Amino acid sequence: ASIQEKAANQGVKTIDYDRLTLGGSADVYVSFDNTKVGELQGQGLVDCLGGRPANVVFLNGSPTDNNATLFSDGAHSVVDATPSITIVGEQAVPDWDNDKAVTIFEQLYTAADGRVDGVYAANDGLAGSVISILEKNRRAGQVPVTGQDATVEGLQNILAGTQCMTVYKSATEEANALAEAAIALVKGEEPKTTSTSRDDTGGRDVPSVLLTPKSITKDNINVVFDDGGQSKDEVCSGQFAEMCNAAGV
């Protein structure tokens, strides 16, 4: 925010890319619809649980990351409205640290006496931490786990059946949107926006370009490869080659 203030005082335009600077003064914000990301995660978890009564743990992203708040809010909007689901534990992971996530989830799992039927993990890294504890308790693949970012590890976990879904956000699409906004500002034009994003800290609505994320399961995993988000050769290496073949990759 202080950098943006200094820029504005010099007549320099600024863009918030991927994350909204709370209390900032960016001219435009380019990102994915992060509340929608959470909604896709929440719906993915509900779908993977198949309507059965379930105890769920929420493992949220960093409390200092505004995106993590939006992800959690979106997921809660779906999960909280599902009568068959009971949330039995919830905690944020400082700095999205996967090592801390292992300890935090194990504590939440123990506090619930192991009666955990599903896990909201805010991204694929946290999902991997959750899966390591589920493996330790011989429950990996039995407990649906969400994710985000369509990482190599996340996609491999989906192929292996230990993670039920992830959310894909096309880097190419986001970068192109940023370039278009930057070119418009340089030309003295107003960037074409799709929405506004509320900055409660700054008390303003920021003109925004919010792109649409995609929910990825084993059934549509090729979406990521077709867009160039990950290399099929890298994901389908070694023990995952046969799994890829079985999934039609």
pLDDT given for residue 22 in this prediction = 95
110-to-22, 128, 239 alpha-carbon distances in Å: 36, 18, 32
Mean pLDDT of all residues belonging to the chain: 97
pLDDT given for residue 105 in this prediction = 98
State the CATH class of domain 34-168. Answer: alpha beta
pLDDT given for residue 76 in this prediction = 98
For 37-82, write each residue's pLDDT tens digit.
Answer: 999 999 999 999 999 999 999 999 999 999 999 999 999 999 999 9
Per-residue H/E/C for the chain: CHHHHHHHHCCCCCEEECCCCCCCCCCEEEEECHHHHHHHHHHHHHHHHCCCCEEEEEEECCCCCHHHHHHHHHHHHHHCCCCCEEEEEEEECHHHCHHHHHHHHHHHHHHCCCCCCEEEECCHHHHHHHHHHHHHCCCCCCCCECCCCCCHHHHHHHHHCCCCCEEECCHHHHHHHHHHHHHHHHCCCCCCCCEEEEECCCCEEEEEEEECCEEECHHHCHHHHHCCCCCHHHHCCCCHHHHHHHCCC
pLDDT band at 131 (very low <50, low <70, confident <90, very high): very high
For 87-96, write each residue's pLDDT tens digit.
Answer: 999 999 999 9
Q: Which CATH architecture has domain 2-32+170-211?
A: 3-Layer(aba) Sandwich (3.40)
Q: Which two tokens stand for residue 101?
A: 């996530």
The ranges of the chain annotated as CATH 3.40.50.2300 are: 2-32+170-211, 34-168
For 215-229, write each residue's pLDDT tens digit.
Answer: 999 999 999 999 999
pLDDT band at 25 (very low <50, low <70, confident <90, very high): very high
pLDDT band at 203 (very low <50, low <70, confident <90, very high): very high
pLDDT given for residue 99 in this prediction = 98
pLDDT given for residue 211 in this prediction = 97
Averaged over 149-165, what is the pLDDT?
98
